[in-house]
Structure 1
Amino acid sequence: MDIRQLKYFMAIAEEGQITSAARKLQMAQPPLSQQLKLLEEELGVKLVERGPRSIQLTEAGIILRDRAQQILELTDSTTRELKDFVKGISGTLSIGTVSSSAATLLQERLMEFHLVYAGVKFEIHEGNTYRVLDLLNKGIVEVGIVRTPFNSAGLECVYTSSEPMIAVMAPEYDWTGGEPEIEIGELRKQPLIIYRRFEQLIRETCLEHGFDPQVFCMNDDARTTLLWANAGLGIGIIPRSAFILANNSNVLSKEIRSDSLNTRVAAVWMKDKYLSSLAEKFIENFKK
């Protein structure tokens, strides 16, 4: 199995037809069919189910498609970095980052870094924290920008300062008379909208204050929390910077006074793995 065969297989998986894949690859259909057959024989598994007009990936085919995509992305990234090196350019730094609130911080750090290392290029991979850590573990990115809480086992980490969580709500939900802060206990019996990653942190903090939170909606993005709160469906709990980034003037925000209900952004990288000089310089700049 080589890179060329993986490219052929990915074309077949993406097109769903060998004829269309051959056209995309600018090659004849019989040689492509033969390459697929050779790949199946080499691996000892059936990768596709052939139908009259299309093909369907088997479970083995789905596994190979996912792995092939990662391998080809890493190959392309390495090729570009080496070409940049030959041209005398400093190189390409691959970074994984969570969306929303960490984006502003990353933008600031990248701008500062770019002022010093103007020849550096960037590849940014976005996703949730679990996705970024997975990319990091597989070597697709060198540095991840994630938000606590996360499992730091096997990672080196540099943390930013802590920031509070805030309650966001439509005006009709405001029981405070315009106060900018609330106590965690004031959320008792309120319908809460929370980002799934913060569920354990929020539940544990509420239980410490003697109540079990009434979770109305659990979701996978702080932006979804804001949208539901804006619609008047409940009270969202998000990091303060996520609200600043959204710039949503229709939603009220109240800082939650709680020592334990805080979160931090961190730059992370794998322990005991090679780290390029570019990544090292970026981390040094991030620490500042």
Structure 2
Amino acid sequence: MDIRQLKYFLAIAEEGQITSAARKLQMAQPPLSQQLKLLEEELGVKLVERGPRSIQLTDAGIILRNRAQQILELTDSTTREINDFAKGLKGSLSIGTVSSSGATLLHDRLGEFHKNYLGVTFEIHEGNTFMIIDLLNKGIVEIGIIRTPFNTSNLECLYINSEPMIAVMTPDYDWNSGEAGLELGELQNKPLIIYRRFEQLIRETCLEHGFEPQIFCMNDDARTTLLWANAGLGIGIIPKSAFELANHGNLIYKEIRCESLHTRVAAVWIKDKYLSSLAIKFIETFRAR
């Protein structure tokens, strides 16, 4: 049994068909079937049950699939670790970010890291918090920069300071000119533009304060909230640091005085998974700020 055979078997297990697995591996079907047969003969057990249209893993097959995933991941991480050692602190660092963390990431962490490690390039993947965690689990990015709240069960987390939510609006919506902040209850019966990520938090907090929020628009990006508010369509609710993400020439903002509506940016990575030297140095920079 070797690494190549494990890759073949894992492709069969994932595809559920030898034909599909062969296509994925860009090889002919008969040699793949032969490799599966040789693996079963070597181990002395049947790994799959063949059906008319698909295959099912036996109990032994399930054990091998789980072990194969671990072995191949360890093989990949070992290769990356040796390459890191050979190259030194050069190469590309893959980071996943939510849009609302962009200002915090660019103004502080990435700038500092770039000054110290000029040979490093970046590959940035943007999405919402759930998408970034999915990219981490798939190994597409090494580090995620996301916002609370999120499930921390399989993540190592490094948080920065908490920040308030703000209400952003054109002067036409400013019912209390000159005030730098507002109470949450003042948003009752106002058309709210919110990032879908915070819907549950905002809705539950408003209900705790005795009113149902009037949500005019839900979207998937803090920049969209800013653009719609800037067009005079309603009052946006975003984290304070996200105010710099898009055009806001028509906007003013007021901090919402409510402890429940605070959020934090966090750098996260998968527990007990290999991190490249670049990722470790970036985390150290993130921690030091």
State the TM-score, normalized to the length of structure 2: 0.69
1:178 aligns with 2:153: no
Report matched runs for 1:1-288 at 5 Å. 38=29, 86=86, 90-99=90-99, 101-107=100-106, 108-288=108-288
Name the amino acid aligned to 2:244. Answer: I
Distance 1:88 1:178, change over 3 A: closer
Shift of 1:84: 7.4
Count of residue pairs the alignment pairs up: 232
Cα distance in 1 for residues equivalent to 2:80 and 2:122: 11
The runs of 5 or more residues in structure 2 that have no matched partner are 12-22, 34-49, 54-75
Task: Report the secondary structure of 1:274's partner residue.
Answer: coil
Contact 1:182-1:254 within 8 A present in 2 as well: yes
Contact 2:226-2:247 within 8 A present in 1 as well: no
Name the amino acid aligned to 2:101. Answer: A
Contact 1:170-1:251 within 8 A present in 2 as well: yes
Cα distance in 2 for residues equivalent to 1:96 and 1:111: 16
Contact 1:169-1:253 within 8 A present in 2 as well: yes
Cα distance in 2 for residues equivalent to 1:162 and 1:91: 32
Cα distance in 1 for residues equivalent to 2:153 and 2:98: 19
Contact 1:85-1:91 within 8 A present in 2 as well: no
> RMSD value over aligned CA atoms?
3.3
Cα distance in 2 for residues equivalent to 1:235 and 1:88: 49
Task: Report the secondary structure of 1:102's partner residue.
Answer: helix
Name the amino acid aligned to 2:104. Answer: L
Q: Percent identity?
A: 68
**Residue deviations 1:9-38 (CA, integer Å, cap 9, x gap):** xxxxxxxxxxxxxxxxxxxxxxx9xx5875
Task: Report the secondary structure of 2:151's partner residue.
Answer: coil
Cα distance in 1 for residues equivalent to 2:173 and 2:80: 52
Aligned counterpart, 1:24: none
Cα distance in 1 for residues equivalent to 2:222 and 2:86: 42
Contact 2:227-2:247 within 8 A present in 1 as well: no
Shift of 1:266: 0.4
Name the amino acid aligned to 1:105. Answer: T
Shift of 1:146: 0.6
**Residue deviations 1:141-192 (CA, integer Å, cap 9, x gap):** 1111011121212111011101111111122111112322111000011111
Name the amino acid aligned to 1:207. Answer: L
Shift of 1:80: 9.6
Name the amino acid aligned to 1:215. Answer: I
Larger mean CA deviation between 246-255 and 213-222 belongs to: 246-255
Aligned counterpart, 1:27: none
Cα distance in 1 for residues equivalent to 2:79 and 2:154: 28
Shift of 1:194: 0.7
Contact 1:98-1:145 within 8 A present in 2 as well: yes
Name the amino acid aligned to 1:230. Answer: N
Distance 1:209 1:159, change over 3 A: same
Shift of 1:86: 4.8
Cα distance in 2 for residues equivalent to 1:89 and 1:278: 6
Bigger radius of gyration? 2
Contact 2:93-2:142 within 8 A present in 1 as well: yes
Task: Report the secondary structure of 1:186's partner residue.
Answer: helix
Cα distance in 1 for residues equivalent to 2:92 and 2:79: 10
